[in-house]
Structure 1
Amino acid sequence: MSVQGKATLRLLDKADKEIKRLPRVVKGAIYDFQYKFRENPNSPGLRLKQLKGNDRLYSARVTDDYRALLLHVGESDYILVAVRHRSEVYDNLDRFHHQVNPVTGGIEFLEVVESATVRAASGTPGTSEPSGSEGPGSVDSPSAPVADPAPEPGAERQKRSEPEPSGEPPRAHGRPLLAGVSAEQLRELGVAEALIPLALDVSTEEKMLGLVEYAPAHSEEVLLALAEGKGFDEVLESITRPVAATEPVDVTDYSAALNRSTTRVTTEDTDLREAIEDDFGRWKVYLHPTQERLVKRRYKGPARVSGGPGTGKTIVALHRVKYLVEQLPPGRTKAVLLTTYNRNLATDLRKRLLDLGGQELVDRVHIVNIDSLANQIVAEAAQGGRRRWISDAQALDEWQDMLSEIGETRWDADFLNAEWSQVILGQAVNSRADYFRARRAGRGQRISRAQRAEIWQLVERFTMRLDEKRVWTHRQVAEIAARIKGEQAAKIAAYKDDEAQHGGPMLHRLDQSWANLRHDYQHIVVDEAQDLNPAHWKLLRAMVAEKDDDIFLVGDTHQRIYDNYVSLGSLGVNIRGRSSRLTLSYRTTKQILGSALGLLGDEAWDDLDDGSDNLGGYRSILRGPTPSFIRAATWHEELDALAAQVSEWRGIDGDNGSIAVAVPTRDMVGEVERQLSKSGISSVSIGPDGPRAEAAVHVGTLHRFKGLEYRFVAIAGMCDGLVPRRGIERFRESDPLRYRREIQKARSLIFVAATRARDALAVSWHGSPSPFVPTSVASAPAPSLDDGLFRPTNALF
């Protein structure tokens, strides 16, 4: 076939995973190849030619020794499916398989060699290893497909010695892993046809991992779910049906397949360097069909998406912002608000949205953390005058000082500060009468009407104290901002009511200026929704009209690390019937996930709307090493072991900011940094706006890790009295609900930190371990320093 003029070239998902393993010089040549091919695929230097016996598969020259395998999908459209040494391209061409999957309708590419070694690239997003990961490794067995080892930089791909074919497919020893599943059922689930006989023959999990490492992504997810013991009906319902084509699939129509969401390719003319080397670049070019449906759905009001760490909630939120902006009429206004709890997350969201849609998209979106938004509103309204900010911890100190000064002993500072913050400020309570009627769901300790009167009197005295000192808290400002915007929303509603009832405003009742009032935004998208307090939600509810697609929020209450408990329905954000869950982790390995879930324990978790939530069905198809759980005799010994582990990781990762250490206290941050410095390791602390530098080991308290991601994470100081902090014991008897909430918060902190790790996790302690550490791990014999403290002592929880 002769192609005239320019061509389009896309990269099939998972092809990048193999390209990363090629010698550096070959990768550089691929980047040059893509531009030359797009400009003129018939350039003599590219040597484009159709492979014998295959009407769609072509080869083209990348270097003297390497060839690009290209799938021609129609007209001038090509997909780069693999890059091979030239000796592998022209021999045994029947090992290359491509198809339009009859169930999902997506394009898939698969290579099966004589030893059943399988390479494949295809399918749905997010199921491959994170950028930079080497995956679970290969299994060199004649009965299981395996992947080539990564070649050394500059080295040629080595030919493996393959066993002589016997004329019959090899049989696995022992009972097949998928015993009880038929070939027809695998077809119904959408497994690639070439993999079915191989999958039915596999007898060990290790061999199954070798089979699916480069298999089409949908086949990988299905086969691993079955291998883990899930039944046919469950896999059909949770994995296959969400991505199944809604119309009959013509398996010969590759052009139509290219346009389906189940064909995961880079967008036209996307730079291969970006798709291969940039972590977020992989995310921004596609969504899993399950996610895409959530992004592009029209909701009859507020909607929520929940899911565990690494399930792509933030990515869904960012794509939702892009989708909403694309529906807006042309203009210059920032009609969409994208908000989250803290500053470093807001900064990260801005960068990611810029990567996703460019400056034109960012110009239509107000990206700000929620407290900064409240500050802007209060400042513009000139309320409160010039004041100094104090933290929640400083506010608690003020409560303690005041109670000591007046000799109050009936109420403790912790309880009063929480009552003031969560109930009075959280619900924008402005009078004693309103406080008598306020809901206190979840506050635990019951109080009488007379006690509410006493508390209100103390709260009034406390706020006067802050006024006199010219200080205030972020919670106070959020309440003021919510009140300001609530009054504005009430005026808008009154004006519209007059218009509806009388054909226009009744000027004797309404100020003409009300006609110019508008809601601040057309749409609001909230990331990390579990961390917002009630005043925040009242503020957001007032800033957008109640209509279709008004508020879209993503979050996970298992990752709540602040004392913010809300009932969204009671605050005017009605998500009932419009809630969805994501269950597949694209970041965390199965091994890390199992340990992290163990850290959560058996606590009950809320769903932000007076119901319960859980991580049932939360899973990962990524594989990695078993996390290490290690005890040391002293903090000094633990620091020595930590430095040794970080040094080992740096040998794998270099010094590019993909290693992090999390500790319970600020003092420990400095001690870890000093220990790493003594070992010649550069490190930086994580502040409110994120790490101060990228090319160093990041060290921070557990609270600082929300929204971050690393290849390697160490959690140090997992000791009794530190995790959870010893001070909460006083609530065990006096306020059981509060005690349980404090335990939950501590578990969430550890859960968040543990699930920041993509490839490896190490948890250590000195002295007595945290009660969160399972007995089986905590009681294991402590290895000596010479053995390396950060070696696994136990498998998953």
Structure 2
Amino acid sequence: MTARLSLYQKAENELYKMDSSVKTKFYDFCHQFRLDPDHPSLDLKPLKGDSRIFRAKIDRSYRALLARAGVGADGVQQWLIVAVRHRKDVYEELTVAINRITGEIEFVDLGVVGQSVLQRAGLQLTPAKDEHPAPAEPTPAPVVTPQPAAPAEPLLIGCTPEDLRRLGVADALIGPALAVTTDEELDQLIAGAPRLTAEVLTGLGSGMSVDEVEREITQPASTELEPGFENDMAAALTRTAVTTVDDDIRNVLAEGDFRAWKVYLHPTQRKIVERNYSGPGRVSGGPGTGKTIVALHRVARLAAALPPGHGKPILLTTYTKNLTADLRSRLTSLMDPALLGRVDIKHIDQLAQSVLNENTAPGAQRSLITDDRALDVLREVLFEHDEQRWDAEFLFDEWEQIVLGQSLATRQDYFKARRAGMGRALNRPERAVVWKLLEQFALRLNGMGRETWAQAAERAARYEMERARKIQTRAERKADIGGGDLAHLDDNSSAMRYLRHRYRHIVVDEAQDLSPAHWKMLRAMAASGPDDLFIASDTHQRIYDRQVTLSTVGINIRGGRSSKLTLSYRTTQEILDQAAKVVRGGTYDDLDDGTDTLDGYHSLLHGPAPEYVACADWTDEITQLAEALKQWRADITQPTEDGTVRDPSGTMAVCVADGDMAGRVAADLETKHGITTATLTKDGPQGGGEVHIGTMHRFKGLEYQKLAVIGASDGILPRTAVVEKYETTDPKRYERELKKSRNQLFVATTRARDALRISWHGRPSPFLPL
């Protein structure tokens, strides 16, 4: 009798971390079980606590735990591997159930719960006995844990069993959940909990109320279930995240691939993707929570619903060029070529340039100037006017945030403009001086035939807003005359195309870094209506000094059209805990009038704690870095069971504070330690080296299996020479600069999937959670 095997997602993550010898034997077990689950060598037996869970023998020490999951449409018995455990960690009380909220199969492992919690909950675990046990192994001496003199207060005080059931907590974990008294005990419970239970308990443990958890976690995950669902394992299997065939299992074990993070949509995410919004919608969440995945699946879903045609009515955009290439690559794996051809994929400044090219006569285009070069021009203006009250950086911020951000055309407009969040207040005479200086700056750039990126975006926004105004005027005139056109034009003529919005749907990833001008341009490019704009953002990852309130640029997200993701798939809880401490205590906006927090943000994956390394000097820091990279390379290239050696290229990275340091690190690693490198640029990695090296800005949106942050010293993070001059002259600017530096470090540390290493010489950065 043959069988069909599926691998529970949590078991997949656990297997990834196991020794390669166990993985090899596990694959052999899967192959044998699929051919004949009743083969005597597998010793398949049910556990006493739940007749639907069976244990089977992988080798002398390890057991597979399986749930019988009904019969498929082809008559083949289906089995779900829910865990792989050492035989000493298999207990009779292990259970599976179908969640009353999500309809997914859930595996409950009480073996990871602390003994004191089990005792308080009135539970006792019984080791499952093998019929033919392996020879006894030495048993370590028992560790005696002193008991507290008096029982501590429950951590989830105020929650009732009925509350936890309503929120979707697995029945077997309700008692232990109400018995925990410390964060450590709660973490133990979460480690063995199914997905929804883990999210609910994490939310409650982080201070969310029962109502908040129900609204933000439980309700988005709920699905309609038929009567009798709790006994239909075959139907539940279709709702459960699994790997379904032997080849897939082999790939997981051999490649260590985080496919669940890359392609799987959690129920909360699926509802966001499939929802019909009456206007702009938004999804927010910390790094690795799946915001980009939601955005990509949202694009695919919108494309599939398009009427037949050949145009590109959907725009997918983000802030940087290298992220755009990454989005294009991912979207290619989700969509067939015909539908992909209906999607315009451009980074935001490329989009602005397209608009300017369409609206500028040949030969009249202005060349773009970098911000650094523009600052030099502004310093020249200040020097020529012998102006010492203002520094170039302050005036450049005023130029981008206020003048361009609000499209101010005259001095009177500037006098009336609001400057909320800019820090230093300006009276009317001071505004007059600032306006004169900025006017001279703009004239100087214009005389050079140059413009900044922000100027280009603002001009593009004005062109698109004028186009939208003409479209609106035409619509109103048509309505006045009963729906007819004033002129008979070919629908495909350039004039008629101009009188239609460019896009029907716009999806924006990494939205927190866009400027007000970018948003005005995007708002004008799509008609207001159902599913017009979809935004993915996390203001904790804002690394450019751009403050935007969406409602002020015509984008209103109301009526529950905003969702928040709290579960990370990319990295471990240990890395997330340390990264969150970098930005803890700061106040972050939600791109509107509210605030955003990391409350409830967590990962179901666990791994080693980040490594903090103090070094004697630069040479010592590079030497120790090289040793770590060589060890990482050895780990990654360890041969698989079939002798395959994985290519480590692109799996390891070194993140630094600035471009000069990146070049120095690359040179030292290559010339002194024989480690090949590739430098991250706006166009992606340049060079064929194994280790990617780049600045914190370049790592935005990327991910690596193992990552090192070096040079994390005081004076570099933050840049003392840049930041301290504002401490007394412009305290609000000083706080903004510190927050920006913290955000950069937060982004850098959350690029690591499995291993994070942070080093410094001299004094460590005050941002490090040491």
- TM-superposed CA distance for 1:109, in Å, is 4.8
The amino acid across from 2:478 in the alignment is E
| 2:69–2:234 CA contact under 8 A, matched in 1 | no
5+ residue gaps, structure 2: 114-122, 140-144, 638-647
| 1:177–1:200 CA contact under 8 A, matched in 2 | no
Query: Which of 294, 315, 328 is the equivalent residue of 1:316?
Result: 294
Change (3 A) 1:173 1:355: farther
Change (3 A) 1:210 1:430: closer
Change (3 A) 1:370 1:300: same
Aligned mates of 2:183, 2:431 — CA distance in 1: 60
Matching residue of 1:342: 320
The superposition leaves residues 481-505 of structure 1 with CA deviations (integer Å, 9 ceiling, x where unpaired) of 1122111111110000111222246
Matching residue of 1:736: 731
Query: Which of 757, 761, 766 is the equivalent residue of 2:761?
Result: 766
- TM-superposed CA distance for 1:294, in Å, is 1.9
- TM-superposed CA distance for 1:432, in Å, is 3.7
Which range is displaced more, 736-745 or 605-614?
A: 605-614
Matching residue of 1:702: 696
The amino acid across from 1:665 in the alignment is D
Matching residue of 1:713: 707
Is 1:586 aligned to 2:572, yes or no?
A: no
Is 1:682 aligned to 2:681, yes or no?
A: no
Query: Which of 385, 405, 409 is the equivalent residue of 2:364?
Result: 385
> Identity rate of aligned residues, in percent?
45
> Which aligned pairs between 1:175-574 and structure 2 lie closer than 5 A?
190-192=168-170, 213=191, 216-222=194-200, 239-247=217-225, 249-250=227-228, 251-260=230-239, 263-265=240-242, 271-272=248-249, 277=255, 279=257, 281-383=259-361, 385-504=364-483, 507=486, 515-516=496-497, 517-574=499-556
| 1:284–1:356 CA contact under 8 A, matched in 2 | no
Aligned mates of 2:57, 2:45 — CA distance in 1: 13
Which range is displaced more, 579-588 or 426-435?
A: 426-435
Change (3 A) 1:98 1:666: same
Give the TM-score taking structure 2 as reference length.
0.80
| 1:659–1:711 CA contact under 8 A, matched in 2 | yes
- TM-superposed CA distance for 1:172, in Å, is 12
The amino acid across from 1:288 in the alignment is H
- TM-superposed CA distance for 1:350, in Å, is 0.8
Aligned mates of 1:658, 1:522 — CA distance in 2: 38
* 3-state SS in 2 of match to 1:758: strand
Query: Which of 616, 623, 640 is the equivalent residue of 2:599?
Result: 616
- TM-superposed CA distance for 1:376, in Å, is 1.6
Aligned mates of 1:328, 1:688 — CA distance in 2: 33
Matching residue of 1:129: none
The amino acid across from 2:531 in the alignment is D
| 1:10–1:265 CA contact under 8 A, matched in 2 | yes
- TM-superposed CA distance for 1:397, in Å, is 1.1
Matching residue of 2:644: none
Matching residue of 2:13: 17
The amino acid across from 1:311 in the alignment is T
The amino acid across from 1:534 in the alignment is P
Matching residue of 2:619: 636
Aligned mates of 1:451, 1:93 — CA distance in 2: 75
Matching residue of 1:691: 685
Aligned mates of 1:160, 1:198 — CA distance in 2: 33
* 3-state SS in 1 of match to 2:81: strand
Is 1:672 aligned to 2:665, yes or no?
A: yes
Aligned CA RMSD, in angstroms, stands at 4.6
Change (3 A) 1:252 1:49: farther
The superposition leaves residues 195-242 of structure 1 with CA deviations (integer Å, 9 ceiling, x where unpaired) of 677878999988876776565333444566677888877766654454
| 1:172–1:202 CA contact under 8 A, matched in 2 | no
- Matched positions, count: 721
Aligned mates of 2:95, 2:86 — CA distance in 1: 18
Aligned mates of 1:44, 1:619 — CA distance in 2: 40
| 2:258–2:570 CA contact under 8 A, matched in 1 | no
* 3-state SS in 2 of match to 1:337: strand
- TM-superposed CA distance for 1:16, in Å, is 2.6
- TM-superposed CA distance for 1:534, in Å, is 0.9
Aligned mates of 1:84, 1:314 — CA distance in 2: 29
Matching residue of 1:100: 98
* 3-state SS in 1 of match to 2:425: coil
The amino acid across from 2:518 in the alignment is H
Aligned mates of 1:231, 1:456 — CA distance in 2: 50
Matching residue of 2:643: none
Aligned mates of 2:712, 2:276 — CA distance in 1: 45
* 3-state SS in 2 of match to 1:14: helix
5+ residue gaps, structure 1: 119-141, 148-157, 165-170, 778-797
* 3-state SS in 1 of match to 2:725: helix
Is 1:661 aligned to 2:643, yes or no?
A: no
* 3-state SS in 2 of match to 1:704: coil
The superposition leaves residues 434-484 of structure 1 with CA deviations (integer Å, 9 ceiling, x where unpaired) of 434443322223334444444333333323322332332221221221122
The superposition leaves residues 549-590 of structure 1 with CA deviations (integer Å, 9 ceiling, x where unpaired) of 111111111111112111211111112443222222233433
Change (3 A) 1:603 1:178: closer
| 1:560–1:748 CA contact under 8 A, matched in 2 | yes
The amino acid across from 2:446 in the alignment is D
The amino acid across from 2:99 in the alignment is N
